[in-house]
Every structure is written in C-alpha cells, then in structure tokens.
Amino acid sequence: PLPVMACHVVLGFLVLLADASPGNLRRMLLRPQAVPSTPAAGPTTDELAIKKVVIVGGSFGGWTVAKKLSGVPERRASDGSSVKLDVTLIDRADYFEYTPGVLRALTQPSVIPMLHSEVGAGTDASVVRGNVEEIQGSKVVLTELDGADAKTKREIDFDYCVIATGSEYSHPIKAAGTGEWTREERQNVLLEKAWQLGNATDVAIVGGGIVGVELAADIIYKYPEKNVKVLDMQNSLLPELPPQCGKYARKWLEGKGVKVELGAPADLDALRNEDYQIFMCVGYKPNGHVYKSEEESPKPDRVAPRGALIVDNMMNVGRQKNVFAVGDVMSHPQPEAKTAYTADLSGNYVARVIKALTLDTNAQIKPYPELLTGLDSVPLVTCVSLGAWDGILVFNNFALPGKFAALVKWLIFSSKTRQLRGNAACNFAWDVAESLSFILHRLDRARRKKTS
C-alpha cells in the first residue's frame, strides 16, 4: 500500500503547484475541462438517436455519473445508427456539499465556504433543481424549486435513470429538511452549530465509528478545555476498520482527556439533564423512497437497510434494466463501506454500463466491481483524522497512523473540493489515484492468497 500513499502525496503536490503557478501551466491544467464539440460531418439530425439519461441526486455518486458521461461524442451504434447522450442532473439543493469536511467545519468555520460548489460543476449535464416525488416506468416526476415554474409538477422522460439520492444522517452532519436546500441556508446553519459548540462546556458524541472519532478529535484538538466523551455499544472504536485503528484512536483520544465509554447504550436523557451538547454519529437511512415499480421485484437475497434499493451485479434496480442505483442508496450483493470513495466507484461503473448499452443493448458487461477492480470486491480505502496533525491511513488490512495520514487527509480535502468545482488537474489526479488503488488491491489479494 505504500506506493499508493506516495502517489497521493505526489499527485496532490502537483495539483497544488499547478494551482499556484502562473502563466500557461496554470491555464492549461486548471481551466474547466473542455467538452468536445459534435463533428461537423456525420449523420443528419433525423438520423441521430438521442438517449436521455436522468440522474436523480447530485452528490458523489450522481456527480461521478454526470462527469463520466460528459464530453462523450456522437458515436456509431452496433446497428449503424448514430447515438448521442443527453444528460439531466436533478437535485433539490442548489449546492454540492463535501460532507466529509463538515466535521472540521464545526470547529473551524473558515472552511465552510470550501465545502460547497455548484451542482453539476465540471460536467455538461443540464441541471434541474427539483424535489423528485417518484420514479415510475420511464418517467421522473418532480416539483420544480427554481424559476418561474417553482412549485409546479413536471415529468421528465428517460432512456436510462440513475438513482443517486444518498442517505439521511444525523443533523447537522447532513442537511435536514427544506430549510437547508440553499447554500446560504446551509452555511448559516453550520455557522450557528459551530457557535453553539464553541459555547458548550460538555459535549457527548454517540457513536464510535469514523464520524464520531473524527468529530471528537476535532473538538478536543480545538477546545482542549471542554469535557468530551464518546459513547458506543460496541466494545471498540472504529469497529469497521482493522483492530489496530480503534486501539490507536482510543489511546489518542484518552491522551487528550476524552472519556471513552464502550459496551453499553448511551443514556440520552441523563446526558440532556446534565446539559451535554449531544452529537448523534450512528446509523444512516438510505433515501430510496422515490422509486416506484408496478412490477413485482425479485425476492431480496440479502438483508438491506430500511429504505435501501436492492440492486443486482449490474446495479439494476428491481427488474428494470434501464434503472440503476449508486452510492449510499443502494445495497449490492458484495458488501462495501458507504463512503465517498465507494460512491464514486459505483457511479463510475454505471457510467461505463450506460455508454456500452447505448451502443449495443446486448453488450456483455462484467459485473460490479469486477469491471473496475478486476476482482469481486473493492479496496477498503479511508483516512481518519485525529485533529490537525495526526490520523490513520487505511488500505485494506494495512493501517498507517501518524502525521503522514494527516497530510494525506489534507491533500484529499484540498484536491477533492477542487475537483468538484471542475478542476481538470484534480480530476486527472483522482482518476490516476483510483486506478492505482485497483492495482494495489489486486496485488494485495495475490499476496494474501500466497501467504495463506
């Protein structure tokens, strides 16, 4: 795993160097990615088949689909006809939020503006701001939220639909309700929560996973005088990661004065009576309610979270071969961590499938994630921050704690937020890093198989 870490650092420094450099290099690397124009010669309009792709949800998975389908030129299908994609991206918010950065924003409000970018930035998708009510048959039914048509219903037909509606999570880590659907509203809420946290004396964090540990670390790093405690029913912190990660995180937190209480449910009433400010960092609820099917769905072959859309190996929902789900909202036969990284991977896969099917509806396509990784699984890749200058970098069963992990976390934040604004250099860097993670995943699998 060390080569991929080194590549992250090298690519990150190249991106930051390009961002700071003057002249032609900056203009070449950081200009918005150009969309190839349609060739002048070729089929006439009446011979051109327009395939409509509608993406519901503009966060990590949905944005990746839109990005991967952007700039796809007019192409010749297997039957001789010409095909072009028309991509529409629908989201009820008028902003994209880099959710992993919200935890740091609660203790460092100056980063709040960096968390948000335009929906669909860096893609050539047509963006529609609307609240999707249902997806049924080959139509998306929504209520417009912007412009002269606000609050009116609209139907959008599609040839392919991608459901990327994500999940709900505890507030304020994720936005809640209609009062936070604009960037201004959301930023005001985060500023208010950061002010409340700064004025609190006692803070309780319920949940000892990645979110809870990072939030506790950020709070105690910024406010060492506060009384902070982490509570979880599990017997260790970071149970979703290799065991050494939880041990390191607990030692770090307790060394800073954080109380860690494990193995018993949190008594929320008692915490409220003691005037603790409580952050709930447990569980998530997939937003799969928008999908409606008149056909009987296949019998589920696995237990999925309530609200999740069960997909097959091709990411198809139910029996509809032109409806896909990606990211938090879907439940796939191969379990995987629900992170921005895996949402990007599922979006990448579905984009490839759609491009293949538009040329040949009978195309033979490898299942997810084999088409991407060459294996039946995706790598576990994550970076847990512990304050500003410590952390844990994880690749499968390998964990590297210390300052290097904190540097990688900073590079991820800096480059990813730029990529989501349409930065071409950062987009290239992330494509390379993703491909390297697949190669290292295969090498790691071969090594473990050889030593077992």
Q: Can you give the pLDDT at residue 164?
A: 98
pLDDT digits (tens, 9 = 90+) for 217-263: 999 999 999 999 999 999 999 999 999 999 999 999 999 999 999 99
pLDDT at 204 over 60: yes
Q: Please say whether the beta carbons of 166 and 93 come within 8 A.
A: no
pLDDT bracket for residue 360 (50, 70, 90):
confident
pLDDT digits (tens, 9 = 90+) for 102-147: 999 999 999 999 999 999 999 999 999 999 999 988 999 999 998 6
Give Cα separations from 428 to 11, 18, 45, 385, 435 (angstroms).
9, 12, 33, 25, 11
pLDDT bracket for residue 148 (50, 70, 90):
low
Q: Please say whether the beta carbons of 79 and 362 come within 8 A.
A: no
pLDDT bracket for residue 17 (50, 70, 90):
very low
pTM of the model: 0.88
Q: Can you give the pLDDT at residue 5?
A: 52
End-to-end Cα distance, the chain? 19
pLDDT bracket for residue 176 (50, 70, 90):
confident
SS3 content of the chain, % helix, strand, coil (to 5): 40, 25, 40
Q: Calculate mean pLDDT across residues 387-397.
A: 97
Structure tokens at 76: 């010749």
How does 332-359 read in b/e, with b if 16+ C-beta sit within 10 Å? beeebebbbbbbbbbbbbbbbbbbebbe
Q: Please say whether the beta carbons of 112 and 191 come within 8 A.
A: yes
